[in-house]
Amino acid sequence: MDLNLTGRRALVTGSSSGLGAAIAELLAAEGADVVVHGRDEARTREVAEKIGAVAAAIGDLATDEGADAVARVAGEVDVLVNNAGSYEHVGWAEATAAEWLRTYEVNVVSGVRMIQRLVPGMRERGWGRVIQIGGGLASQPIAMQPHYNASLAARHNLAVSLARELKDTGVTSNVVSPGAILVDAVQDLITGLAPERGWGRSWPEIERNAARDFVPNDIGRFGRPGEIAGAVAYLASPYADYISGATIRVDGGTIRSVT
């Protein structure tokens, strides 16, 4: 299926590894002119070269200067995927006010910076896509990582507000909400925990049991980066012209809700 993305220019923030790299790779394979972004220059350029990206943009989006630098390299973008973000594995007692502020700056305000720099051009041209990478913790938060849960909820909320702002412009704003995704760090973690948790020895056994204990879902496994990338590519395409202000959950049924 041709998603008709040939000639569309797309910036994927935080695409020098993991989920962002998978998104950038699929958009490039679908014909989009992809700009890869990261803070580590060597890693970012390596991904850009691997997928045939048109440019590599280096900059820290948690600063105005970094966002300006990335926007200059990105140019006239048709598709903005706000994927960049981070979190620490801490609970309420350890998450200081400074950590809350830093997490909000990195996970929320960085995306706002790119929206403010790139969406006006989309509006002028009469077509564009803004896609936030959110997460199930936005609507079903856990006790751990309260600062991260809250920042995801803000990402979901601002995407809907932006959709209202972009009414009748030809530019849409949506969220792709992943469940637990099997990136390298996650696989290393659960493989290391397997012996003490009694999850088995073979990878299929370990994954099934780890998913049951960590992220119970109807599919019985962790998601794959390519499955998130597929949802992003669809929302970026003309086939999604009539979708705005929506959250597309790609979580195997982890979130138990009809909304």
Tens digit of pLDDT per residue, the chain (259 long)?
A: 799 999 999 999 999 999 999 999 999 999 999 999 999 999 999 999 999 999 999 999 999 999 999 999 999 999 999 999 988 889 999 999 999 999 999 999 999 999 999 999 999 999 999 999 999 999 999 999 999 999 999 999 999 999 999 999 999 999 999 999 999 889 999 999 999 999 999 999 999 999 999 999 999 999 999 999 999 999 999 999 999 999 999 999 999 888 6
Cross-strand bridge partners of residue 103: none
- Contact predicate 194/206, CB 8 Å: yes
Question: Nearest-CA neighbor of 73 among 39, 37, 109?
Answer: 37
Closest CA to 182 of 232, 228, 127: 228
As a whole number of angstroms, the distance between CA 239 and CA 68 comes to 31
Per the DSSP assignment, residues forming a β-bridge with 58 are 38
How far apart are alpha carbons 42 and 136 in whole angstroms? 32
- Residues noted as catalytic: 148
